[in-house]
């Protein structure tokens, strides 16, 4: 039995880097796939399905990362994450935090 794999290189283009909002979007996108998906920065590999692991990379604007996926839907997983990086995480660029009702 062979394991499918896919890889890509991306650059963080967000001025504030991979802070909580883009990490949330990345982890949510990766979670939709069966494949094991990892982000790699300077040899450090982290689970792309973990928001805290992504934030822990401390990836600032201009940081080069590799995306590595292994599993039955590896190509689709990598393609989805690459598109998030290319788009600049559009849902994560707002300056306002989600509002909460005070009661």
Q: Which residues contact 36 (CB under 8 A, 6 or more apart)?
A: 47, 69, 70, 71
Q: C-alpha angle 18/8/17, rounded to 5°?
A: 10
CB distance 42 to 58 below 8 Å: no
- Which of 4, 8, 13, 19 is flagged as catalytic? 19
Catalytic-residue membership of 7: no
Other beta carbons within 10 Å of 8: 15
Catalytic residue list: 19
């Amino acid at each position: 039995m062979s394991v499918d794999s896919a890889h890509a290189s991306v650059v963080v283009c967000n001025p504030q880097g991979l802070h909580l909002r883009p990490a949330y979007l990345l982890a949510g996108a990766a979670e939709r796939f069966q494949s094991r998906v990892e982000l790699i920065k300077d040899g450090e590999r982290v689970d792309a399905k973990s928001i805290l692991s992504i934030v822990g990379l401390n990836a600032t604007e201009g940081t080069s990362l590799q995306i590595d996926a292994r599993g039955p839907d590896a190509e689709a997983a990598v393609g989805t994450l690459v598109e998030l990086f290319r788009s600049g995480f559009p849902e994560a660029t707002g300056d306002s935090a989600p509002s909460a009702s005070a009661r």
